[in-house]
Amino acid sequence: MTFWILAPIMVAAALGILFVRKAVHAAMLLAIVMLSLAVLYAVLDAPFLFAVQIIVYTGAILMLFLFVLMLVGVDASDSVVETIKGQCALATILGLALGAVLVTALSQVTLGTAVGLDEANAGGNIEQLANILFSRYVFAFEATSALLITAAIGAMVLAHRERLTPKETQASLAAQRMRDYAETGKHPGPLPAPGVYARHNAVDTPALLPDGSAAESSVSRVLVARGVIRSGPAMADDIDEVRRQLGQDPSEMPETSGKSGAPASTEEDVK
């Protein structure tokens, strides 16, 4: 009775996986198929397969599908553009062949009570399943294990990228900077910070070189492209305005320590 209830649900959900356009909806329909299959395992007195179906397939693999959709994005996974020519025709042929195999197998099924089920589960379902798996089907089990390991190794190989050039070190980077300086004249050292040797440290104020000229490389290229770099006359006007506010004559040169009114310190004062 349980089979006749769950079988139409599983078939409808499986067909829905093929025809829905949203990947998230297909994942939800796949969960319905897996849960229904787990219930069938429980009805057939296979508690181990029931637990594995719930924990591994529904709880782990299906969640992995959903995590991939979350990371890649639903829009990227919803593309229905055919990238490989002829894949629809090939899928149709393979689907019809699989359907023929299923119909042939179902036509040979006889209805009735299971024979030998009590003897097979005499020591427990899990124990007998392990005995059959590691005795009669040990080669199939090892082949499946090798296939899974091959898939994992293949994923690692595809994700790994060979290094075409030697790894750059601090010494190689320094040597490259010196070569660039010799060939193109690019400054090998760090760029001067904005405002160095200037009256203030505004980002649009270039640093002053020892000869008093502005170092254009000390300001951002974005500000240079916008044309908002403060020029020397503009900075001088700001300085004069500040001196006027302080009550000083802008035309007078600022006094140095050697020309100020305070007496200069002598060597004896230092001692």
Q: State the first-to-last Cα distance of the chain, in angstroms, to the nearest integer.
A: 109
pTM exceeds 0.75, yes or no: no
Residue ranges of the domains in the chain? 1-75+124-145, 190-247
What CATH class has 1-75+124-145?
mainly alpha
pLDDT tens digits, 55-109:
888 888 888 888 877 777 655 545 556 666 777 888 889 989 998 998 888 887 7
User: Which range among 78-82, 119-123, 145-149, 163-167 shows the weakest confidence by mean pLDDT?
Assistant: 78-82
Give the Cα separation of 140 and 146 in Å (integer).
10
Mean pLDDT of 245-271: 52
Task: Give the CA-trace dihedral at 122, 126, 129, 134, to 10 degrees.
Answer: -120
220 burial type by CB count under 10 A (0-12 exposed, 13-18 middle, 19+ buried): middle
Query: For 150-176, what is the mean pLDDT?
Result: 80
pLDDT higher than threshold 80 for residue 216: no
The 10 Å Cβ neighbour count of residue 127 is 12
The 10s digit of each residue's pLDDT in 4-63 is 888 899 999 999 988 888 888 888 898 899 999 999 988 887 888 888 888 888 888 888
- How high does pLDDT run on average in the chain? 75
CA distances to 5, 21, 177, 215, 220 from 181, in Å: 79, 58, 6, 17, 21
Q: Phi/psi at 215 (nearest 5 deg)?
A: -95, 100
> How many angstroms separate the CA atoms of 202 and 118, rounded?
87
Q: Determine the pLDDT at residue 242.
A: 64
Cα separation, 196 vs 202, in Å, equals 10
Of residues 230 and 106, more confidence is placed in 106
